[in-house]
Every structure is written in C-alpha cells, then in structure tokens.
A and B are shown apart, each in its own frame.
Chain A
Amino acid sequence: MAVRLDKPWRDLDAENLARVTGHLGVYQLANDAGEILYIGVAGGRTRYGLKGELAKALDAPPPGVTKFRVEVTMSYRTRHAELLEAYMHDHGTLPEANTDVDPRMLGRLRPGGGPG
C-alpha cells in the first residue's frame, strides 16, 4: 500500500460531499494547486465519520482550502499518524492548518519516493 495518499482531488462542495460516506478513515484538504493544507481523521468517536468531518470542513474551511480526498480505513489512527509523518518527512513541517497536532507526539518516517 502506498504511504502517501495519491488519489485524485475532489472539489470541496455540497455535490461531492453528498457522495462521501459515513465510514471511518482519513482525509486531506488542499488548495487549488493541490497543496495539502490539512490532514484529518474521522475516528470512532465521530457521529458521522468522514461525511461528518468533511461537512464541518465545508462549513468552516481552513483558509485556502478548496479540495479534498479521503481514504476509508479502520486503522484510522495509525494511518493518520503515517500521513502526518510522511508529510513531515517531505516538507519539514506539518500542514499549515494542522495546529491540532503536536509534532512532538509524532514519530519519524522516511518513506521512499517523493511527495504526491
């Protein structure tokens, strides 16, 4: 399985949100250029899974966010950590809007390949 999410981006709008399900998993938010601005997780405590978390993002998007993509996975905690660590490895810092993550709590990954 690829470390980095490399699925196509979708516009963060009501039409695309209607196709998102309530599964658990991880998601990324990006700007028009496809630059990742936030890496999020829809875990077991969420009411409506990915759909609910992305609905919140649609209501109050972090600055610059226009796109999203998701991965449905029951291993949402470890996958979230992996995506954050891969991003740290690629960029030296967390995504701009991930002020909810303490980088000291993350491990260090050195995945092969480069940023998607």
Chain B
Amino acid sequence: MDFALTEEQTMIVDMVRRFVRQEILPLEESMDPDADELEPEVLAGLVEKTKAMGLYGLDTPPEYGGPDIDMVTRVLIAIECSQHRGGLYTPCYGAFGGARQAQLFEANEAQKEKYLYPMLRGEKKVFFGLSEPSGGSDPARAIQTRAVPDGNDHWVLNGTKLWISGADRADYGLVFARTGGPGRSGVSAFIVETQWEGFKVARIVHTLRSSKYATEIQMDNLRVPHENMLGEEGGGFAIANDRLARQRVPYAAECLGPAIRAHEMATEYSKIRETFGAPLSSRQGIQWMLVENEIDIRAARLLVLDAAAKADRGEPYRTESAIAKLTCSESAFKVVDRSMQIHGGLGVAKDLPLERWFREMRIRRVGEGPSEVQKHVIARDIIGGSLR
C-alpha cells in the first residue's frame, strides 16, 4: 500500500502551503481576532492568485470550471488551507472558492442560468436551509416546514429554519420543506429568494463560533413559483444527502489544519518554555501529550485519506466518511485542547489563535452530523455485517 503523494500532489500541497504562509498569515497579523472575511479588494487579489494556480473553485466540477482534482487531492488541500487563525470555518477566507451550495448542480438549465452560474461567478451568495428547531440530525423526520400547492404554479411555504449560516447576507438559498407525508420521501427542495415577501431573517444565533454566524429564518406564507422546485417533488432529501455525504470528507479534513498548527506551536513552545529550571519538553507529562497529539493527527489523516481514496475509486464510502468526520473532529479537538494546556495561560489568550480554534473545533463535533450520529451510521454497518 503506497501512502506517498504523487509528484503532482506534492507540488499542489507545496503551492497551497506557501500561499497560506505568504499571503494569509501576514494579513491576519492586522485583522480582528475573530474576523472571518477580508476586504473585497484584498480577497479579489487573492482570488486572482488562486486562479493563476489553477485551484479556484475547489468543489466545483471541472465541467463547470472547477479544477480537475480528485478527492484525495481535495483532502490534502483542505488540510493545508485551514492552517491559520480563521482557517477552520473560513479557510483562506474563501480565496479558493469552496463548496457553496453544490445541490444547485442538480438544477435544470433554467435554474442553473438564474441561480447556479451567478453563484459560481461569485456574484451571488447562497444559503442552505435544512435544519429546524425540531431537529437537524434527522431532517427526514424533523422537517416541519410545510409547502402546500397553490394552484398549478405556486407553492406556499410556512415554517422556521435554524442554524442557517449566512442567510442574512444571501441573495437566495435552498429550503427543504415537507410536501408529502412523513419521512424522507415527503421532503422537497426549493430555491427561495431572500427578497420575496414572506421570507425574513428573524435573528442571528450567537454561538461559540467566530466565523459564519448562524441565523434563524422564518417563512410566513412565502409564495414560491413551481419552477423553483429543485429536482422532483419528494426528491429533496436525496438531493441534500448525496452532496452532504461528499462534502463531509473535506469538511473532516479541515479539522486537521488547525490541529497540525496547534501541535507545531505546542512542540516549539515546549522547547523554549522553562519551568523549575528545565524546558517543558523534558517533562514526561508534556512529552506524552505531544505523542498523543502526533498519533491522533496521523491516525485521523490516514482515515480521512482512506475515505477520499474510496470515493475516488467509485466505491461506497458513507461509513468511511462517517469514520473520518468522527475521528477528525474529536481528535482535532483533543489536539487543540492539549496544545492549549501546554501553552499555559498564553493558550487561552487571544494573542494566540488556540482559543479560537478550541471554540470553533467544539462546534465541529456537532455540525455536519454530530459524533453520536456518525457512530450510529457506523454501528448500522457493523451490526448489519457490511463492513468487511
């Protein structure tokens, strides 16, 4: 089994690593400690560079202008891109493009012209409205937002969505509503414009996270044209699920970037910081923490690359994706926590990025399917006997 990177992957990793160190880190020295975006003209300059690198639009399929890279390479880039203060939720502040609403690739041609292409060109911002106050882990059952037909040409939506990132600044978004009975076959997807009568962002939901704050949106007799249904009636859940499973792999990999940097920082600090006449690195307690960091990172990295490799071979990878997400988020949190501990008081100060990574990494154990749900997915395969 050859774990070595190809020559092309090595070149891409080097390029991205240099970009983060030469372009992003210097900017962060003067940015607010919890900032999550760049001035538009600064971002535009960086986008020119990532386009010149041939890496803009990371999750955009090549036929839509994205780079022709496989999932393994995507994971390697995700690990590098997130190695800065704001990197966990805003890797390189969007300079490489990113996932956006990949479900729009399932749109028909008219919908693509109106909604997908402006998003890909960066002209429009889009939100993803799946989770509700009634639940997010099990949306197939939890969705209570209703869409009722009004004649042949409109649907009327009523309901509330919660934890919706970026809805306050989006131009339009995807809303999943119940058009039929209970369960996944009763859910349909709609493209909803935020300026329409009946749509409002009721509040911002302030959490631990500095980046990409969540919102609560309310739909009150929101009229949506029939042509804005995405896919078939009752096909909404499948649209959501397929893309979410695919995005979960680079999402998991992004956890490793801050973990790697935190571990590097802790290692360096342990060599220079002295207590009781000796460097921290001479203490067995500290050495063991660094060893645990190293093993956690290496194991998580191998597991997420395994998931990516299976995806690239066209094999089913839902269980591997769940293992990767579970391991990367839980392990990265432990690595950041240990690294903070090694830094002592400095670890919890805003002078260093550790406290932001700690707060944001905590959310990573909940978002995109909490750890317990990932275990549920894996257990189902183990007990069902399909893991071998």
Binding site for B on A (CB under 8 A): 1, 21-25, 44, 46-49, 71-75
What residues of chain A lie closer than 8 Å to B204, measured between beta carbons? 22, 47-49
Interchain Cβ contacts under 8 Å between A and B, 21 examples: A21-B37, A22-B168, A23-B213, A24-B34, A25-B32, A44-B206, A46-B206, A47-B203, A47-B204, A48-B203, A48-B204, A49-B206, A72-B33, A73-B32, A73-B34, A73-B350, A74-B208, A74-B210, A74-B356, A74-B359, A75-B350
Contacting pair B210 A72 (CB below 8 A): yes
Q: Known contacts A1-B351, A73-B32, A73-B350; can you find 6 more A-B pairs with CB under 8 A?
A: A21-B213, A48-B203, A72-B36, A74-B208, A74-B356, A75-B350
B35-73: CB near A (< 8 Å → 1, else 0) gives 111000000000000000000000000000000000000
Interface residues of B in 172-212 (CB under 8 A from A): 203-204, 206, 208, 210
Minimum Cβ distance to chain A for residue B340 (Å): 15
Q: Nearest 5 CB-CB pairs, A to B?
A: A72-B32, A22-B204, A44-B206, A72-B34, A73-B34
Pick from A23, A44, A46, A71: contact of B210, CB below 8 A.
Answer: A23
What residues of chain B lie closer than 8 Å to A44, measured between beta carbons? 206
* Closest B residue to A43 using CB positions: B206
Minimum Cβ distance to chain B for residue A80 (Å): 14
What residues of chain B lie closer than 8 Å to A22, measured between beta carbons? 168, 204, 213, 215
What residues of chain B lie closer than 8 Å to A48, measured between beta carbons? 168, 203-204
What residues of chain A lie closer than 8 Å to B350, measured between beta carbons? 1, 73, 75
Contacting pair A1 B206 (CB below 8 A): no
* Closest B residue to A49 using CB positions: B204
What residues of chain B lie closer than 8 Å to A74, measured between beta carbons? 33-34, 208, 210, 356, 359
Compute how far the CA of A44 lies from the CA of B209 in the bound complex, rounded to whole angstroms.
12
What residues of chain A lie closer than 8 Å to B359, measured between beta carbons? 74
* Closest A residue to B35 using CB positions: A72
A22, A44, A47, A48 pick with most chain B CB within 10 angstroms: A22
Contacting pair B168 A73 (CB below 8 A): no
* Closest B residue to A70 using CB positions: B32
Minimum Cβ distance to chain B for residue A90 (Å): 21
Minimum Cβ distance to chain B for residue A39 (Å): 16
Minimum Cβ distance to chain B for residue A76 (Å): 9
Interface residues of B in 8-34 (CB under 8 A from A): 32-34
Compute how far the CA of A74 lies from the CA of B362 in the bound complex, rounded to whole angstroms.
15
What residues of chain A lie closer than 8 Å to B208, measured between beta carbons? 74
What residues of chain A lie closer than 8 Å to B33, measured between beta carbons? 1, 72-75
Compute how far the CA of A79 lies from the CA of B37 in the bound complex, rounded to whole angstroms.
20
